[in-house]
């Protein structure tokens, strides 16, 4: 049986936010930030597992779930969402929470921590966005492939998947349908209950579709694959043209950081099936100019390097590896996830 939570809503200074809340108000606050193509409902198993230890808040981000569907200004990178989270915390008087961000939500959590380090008790990152953004960079230090940022942004999102979301397609024979794409979040041998799968698919359908939301707009680029980022919508927020989170190594104070990493992740990976460089290498996108010009982005390697520097500069950092998980270790290996998290918090 699925966990049951009351959906709440609060008007902040920026927008109306829908959120889930659970746990004892006398316990430490924990804020959970979901990722792309999802909503706070993806955190329901995590809330159930942690609600006895924390007072938990799980908001829907702008453009997702039941939160107000205001346009997303991609030129701010993660800041649209991180400032929304700030206004959410202020509206509910949430003081110095632990924060966990998943996937794109990890990028939001990093941005929030960069801007308000004194107000974060600890930072958890579940298969997070690389600090150098998504696609378009190479090497451990995130060198930009092209000044035009070709190959990044909303124009590179799978159009068949966007249409399947728009049409609420659940057909088994369409590889781009929401249920089939959902499988890519998990390791190949992971079995999701029908009840949970239906919940997650319906959650995906709550996402707003369009140029100002998902996937965003695009502009022509002079280099392969001849599309670059526009200025609106989700896909463009993650372009290295607009987001760089490496400044987290410079913040003071430095909240303790734990990185939960599923080794079978196909989305945030050094060989990501959503990365233009890797898809070019595989021949999926024709005309690839080769590894010297446009290699696969080493997302995991980049993330590790940034947080090793974070530790070198005095921060606490732990990488927790989940060999049986894909993009969602909090769902795929929940008992290990809870133990790793609680052990980490006990050690700091």
Residue 5: its pLDDT value, please?
A: 72
Tokens of 253: 């104070």
Residue 40: its pLDDT value, please?
A: 97
Residue 193: its pLDDT value, please?
A: 93
For domain 7-347, the question of CATH label 3.30.360.10 is answered with: no
d(CA 176, CA 172): 9
Residues 103-113, buried b or exposed e (16+ Cβ, 10 A)? Answer: bbbbbbbbbbb
Percent of the chain with pLDDT over 90: 98
Q: If you average pLDDT over residues 170-179, what whole number do you get?
A: 96
d(CA 2, CA 154): 34
Kindly indicate the confidence band of residue 79, based on its pLDDT and cuts at 50, 70 and 90: very high
Kindly indicate the confidence band of residue 3, based on its pLDDT and cuts at 50, 70 and 90: low
d(CA 235, CA 69): 16
Tens digit of each residue's pLDDT (9 = 90 or more) over 34-50: 999 999 999 999 999 99
Residue 6: its pLDDT value, please?
A: 73
Residue 7: its pLDDT value, please?
A: 85
d(CA 316, CA 327): 24
- DSSP 8-state secondary structure symbol assigned to residue 78: T
Question: Closest Cα partner for 245 from 189, 195, 327, 305?
Answer: 305
Residue 1: its pLDDT value, please?
A: 53
Residue 4: its pLDDT value, please?
A: 62
State residue 299 phi and psi, 5-degree precision.
-60, -45
Neighbours of 118 (CB within 10 A): 9
Tens digit of each residue's pLDDT (9 = 90 or more) over 224-267: 999 999 999 999 999 999 999 999 999 999 999 999 999 999 99
The pTM of this model reads 0.98
**Mean residue pLDDT across the chain:** 97
CA 251 from centroid of its chain's CA atoms: 21
The helix (run of H) or strand (run of E) holding residue 257 is: strand 257-262
Q: If you average pLDDT over residues 282-298, what whole number do you get?
A: 98
């Amino acid at each position: 049986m699925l966990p049951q939570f009351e959906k709440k809503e609060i008007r902040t200074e920026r927008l109306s936010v829908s959120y889930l809340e659970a746990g004892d108000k006398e316990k430490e606050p924990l804020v959970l930030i979901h990722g792309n193509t999802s909503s706070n409902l993806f955190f329901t198993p995590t809330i159930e597992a942690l609600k006895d230890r924390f007072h938990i808040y799980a908001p829907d981000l702008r453009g997702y779930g039941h939160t107000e569907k205001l346009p997303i200004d991609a030129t701010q990178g993660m800041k649209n969402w991180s400032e929304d989270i700030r206004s959410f915390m202020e509206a509910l008087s949430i003081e110095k929470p632990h924060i966990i961000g998943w996937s794109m939500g990890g990028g939001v959590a990093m941005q929030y921590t960069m801007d308000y380090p004194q107000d974060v008790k600890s930072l958890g990152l579940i298969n997070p966005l690389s600090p150098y953004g998504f696609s378009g960079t190479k090497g451990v230090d995130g060198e930009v492939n092209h000044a035009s940022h070709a190959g990044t942004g909303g124009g590179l999102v799978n159009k068949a998947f966007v249409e399947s979301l728009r049409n609420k397609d659940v057909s088994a024979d369409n590889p781009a349908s929401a249920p089939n794409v959902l499988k890519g979040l998990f390791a190949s041998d992971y079995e999701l209950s029908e009840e949970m799968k239906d919940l997650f698919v319906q959650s995906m359908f709550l996402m707003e579709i369009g140029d100002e939301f998902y996937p965003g707009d695009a502009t022509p680029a002079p280099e392969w694959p001849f599309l670059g980022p526009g200025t609106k919508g989700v896909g463009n927020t993650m372009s290295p043209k607009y987001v760089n989170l490496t400044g987290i190594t410079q913040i003071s104070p430095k909240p303790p950081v734990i990185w939960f990493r599923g080794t079978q992740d196909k989305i945030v990976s050094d060989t990501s099936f959503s990365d233009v460089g890797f898809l070019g290498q595989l021949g999926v996108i024709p005309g690839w100019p080769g590894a010297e010009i446009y290699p696969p982005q080493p997302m995991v390697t980049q993330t590790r390097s940034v947080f090793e520097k974070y530790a070198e500069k005095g921060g606490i950092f732990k990488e927790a590896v989940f060999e049986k998980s894909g993009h969602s270790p909090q769902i795929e290996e929940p008992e290990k996830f809870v133990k790793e998290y609680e052990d980490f918090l006990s050690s700091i």
